[in-house]
Amino acid sequence: METETATETDTAPRPQVSITYCTGCNWLLRAGWMAQELLSTFGEELGGVTLVPGYGGVYEIRVDGDLLWERKRDGGFPEPKVIKQRLRDAIAPGRDLGHVDR
């Protein structure tokens, strides 16, 4: 008979972030850099960050399917500070981001 540890049964699924980037525009490095920024800040709180190739000038950042940033809608590329604040507001509203919030 197998036994499960408390950490396996008591933990809720962690949020998943996806970054969709335009391959034709060569935005992979930008998307990878943003993924690194988010994992550096929220590494213990996220289930993962997925890079999704796209086309047509797309650059979108989503958490669990909800749109945090869209290049065309929001006017360009986000600063890491802005995305970190939006992600924090979505997954851990009470969390202090230190110097990012100042």
User: Per-residue pLDDT for 11 more than 80?
Assistant: no
Which of 3.40.30.10, 3.40.50.1170, 1.20.1050.10, 3.30.43.10 is the CATH number of 14-90?
3.40.30.10
Strand (E) or helix (H) holding 61: strand 59-63
Per-domain residue ranges for the chain?
14-90
pLDDT band, residue 96 (cuts 50/70/90): confident
Query: How many other C-beta atoms can be found within 10 angstroms of the C-beta atom of residue 85?
Result: 16
How confident is the model at residue 2, as a pLDDT?
Answer: 53
User: Per-residue pLDDT for 91 more than 80?
Assistant: yes
Record the pTM.
0.85
How confident is the model at residue 9, as a pLDDT?
Answer: 47
Find all residues with CB under 8 Å of 99, minimum gap 6, and list them: none
pLDDT band, residue 10 (cuts 50/70/90): low
Nearest one of 57, 65, 54, 55 to 16, comparing CA atoms: 65
Residue range 25-40, pLDDT digits in tens = 999 999 999 999 999 9
